[in-house]
Amino acid sequence: MSITTHLSTDEIFGLFRQYVIPNYRRYPVVLVRGEGVEVWDSEGKRYLDLFPGWGCNLLGHCPVPVVTAVQEQLTRLIHVPNTWFTEAQGHWAKALSERSFHGMAFFCNSGAEANEAAIKLTRLHQGPGRYKIIVFEGGFHGRTMGSLSATAQPKYHEGLHPLLPGFSYCPYGDLEAVRQRIDGETAAIMIEPIQGEGGVVLPPNGFLQGLRALADEHQLLLIFDEVQSGCGRTGEWFAYQNFEVVPDIMTLAKALCGGLPGGAMLARKEIAPSLRAGMHASTFGGNPIAAVAGLAAIEMIETQGLLERAKALGNLFLERLRDLAQRCSIVREVRGVGLMIGVELVADGTPVVNECLRRGLLINCTHGTVIRLLPAMTMTDDQVYEGCDILCRVIEEYAQGGLETKVEA
Ligand code: PMP
């Protein structure tokens, strides 16, 4: 007998209650299929997805070029460790290097893992005694102990002390605080050029340039965590390209492989060799499946002109949502770059997310009050209108006190 028989929705919930560690808050929905920006649940209900794959499905669900490349690779070579060369990993590193700052790549499987690599490379490069990394309040860098320690949000630290020492937390946007924090043991500054989890927070004018100048002045490495903002999300290959500042190290994951798991750290050529042979590794990192998926994602973005499309779609969203902000005082601010969009409310955003879910629209709320959209580059204009219509109506009804949906999260 097969161990996977077809179960009812309730029976699937039952499996999770009994066998899956409850470390996630899940909506009571079983998703079974996705195509582009639409997904369907086990009851046949269709949803428009404005938060596909928590930012991983930037190309929509099951993008055809990625699916085709992976299917073809699956029958040839699924996995070989990094004790061997593969052509695909080489091409992938070159493609990423040429689209960023001509550095070298280390491949891994997730954002947290990419940031761990950045932390280790920093220590190895800067040498004994220089280990401190300045990071920013509201930032998010992952859940492993190193990347968690770099995450200056105490709510994620509860019960987990002691953290990895050496991270210095500064207010985001405050250059003077950074300057004062630098001492002889400081090795790097690590930042999301646009904060995601922290509420889609854009850097104040000149802030990233100021960090670059401080890093240069004190021989610090400047690390950009582009796990959420990278890979075309903002309409540029990487968010930093919107601000004309170049980092020494950059970390990537989420959308990197068109929806498949994969992560990478890129480092300037002068720095990269400090991660010497034997000092770091990841068994699955840069495997052939991830590599061909990553290459297919890049090719799809280029052949379909999706960077320009991301900018146009982002403007369409901002136009609609700013129009809402004009007439609806519950909206404090609408902000974003390309397809990284935040709608900050003056109230808890959870009821909005729950009601949108009921009406067939998937969105996210972060930092309590910020409705976050990380839409796919492949949306049509009509899909943007459909999504904005639902979202705007729900927010307006919320403002008028008319939402009653309760969804067990
Ligand atoms: N950095 C940033 C900016 C992120 O948004 C995230 C995930 N939300 C991470 C790191 C961690 O990535 P992962 O969950 O793949 O470890």
Whether 136 contacts 191, CB under 8 Å: yes
Residue pair 297/290 in contact (Cβ under 8 Å)? The answer is: no
- Tell how strand 340-345 and strand 361-362 pair up: unpaired
H/E element, 146: helix 145-149
Write the residue with the smallest CA distance to atom 13 of ligand 1.
111
The fold adopted by the segment(s) 9-62+305-399 is Aspartate Aminotransferase, domain 1 (3.90.1150)
d(CA 391, CA 382): 14
CA 263, CA 265: separation in Å to the nearest integer? 7
Closest Cα to residue 292, out of 75, 97, 112? 75
Question: What is the value of pTM for the model shown?
Answer: 0.97
Determine how many CB atoms are found less than 10 A away from the CB of residue 103. Answer: 21
Protein fold of 77-303: Aspartate Aminotransferase; domain 2 (3.40.640)
User: How many angstroms separate the CA atoms of 154 and 156, rounded?
Assistant: 5
How far, in Å, CA of 360 to CA of 363, rounded? 10
Residues assigned a catalytic role = 140, 225, 254
- Tell me how far the alpha carbon of residue 216 is from its chain's centroid: 27
Task: Give the integer Cα–Cα distance in Å for 360 and 49.
Answer: 8
How do the pLDDT tens digits run along the chain, 409 residues long?
577 778 999 999 999 999 999 999 999 999 999 999 999 999 999 999 999 999 999 999 999 999 999 999 999 999 999 999 999 999 999 999 999 999 999 999 999 999 999 999 999 999 999 999 999 999 999 999 999 999 999 999 999 999 999 999 999 999 999 999 999 999 999 999 999 999 999 999 999 999 999 999 999 999 999 999 999 999 999 999 999 999 999 999 999 999 999 999 999 999 999 999 999 999 999 999 999 999 999 999 999 999 999 999 999 999 999 999 999 999 999 999 999 999 999 999 999 999 999 999 999 999 999 999 999 999 999 999 999 999 999 999 999 988 865 554 4
Token output for 185 = 């043991």
E strands, 138-218, in order: 167-170, 186-191
- Listed residue (70, 52, 33, 53) closest to 379, CA to CA: 52
Q: Would you kindly state where each structural domain of the chain is located, as residue ranges?
A: 9-62+305-399, 77-303
Measured from the CA of 195, which atom of ligand 1 is nearest? 3
Three state DSSP letters for 54-71 = HHCCCCCECCHHHHHHHH
- Please check whether residue 226 is in contact with residue 243, taking contact to mean a CB–CB distance below 8 angstroms: no
Structure tokens at 290: 């991830």
Q: What spacing in Å lies between the alpha carbon of 378 and ligand 1's midpoint? A: 22
Q: Count CB atoms within 10 A of the CB of residue 73.
A: 19
Measured distance CA(341)–CA(404) in Å, rounded: 26
Pocket mutation for ligand 1, best pick of 109, 140, 147 (most atoms within 8 Å of C-beta): 140
Identity of the amino acid at 139: G
Ligand 1 atom with minimal separation from the 110 CA: 15
DSSP assignment letter at 303:
H
**Degrees to nearest 5, angle at CA 71 with 69 and 76:** 95
CA distance 155 to 19: 27
Longest Cα–Cα distance in the chain:
66
- Assign 272 to helix, strand or coil: helix
What's the gap in Å between 262 CA and the centre of ligand 1?
12
Q: Which residues line ligand 1 (CB under 6 A)?
A: 110-112, 115, 140-142, 192, 196-197, 225, 227-228, 253
Q: What share of the chain is helix, strand, coil (3-state, %, to 5)?
A: 40, 20, 45
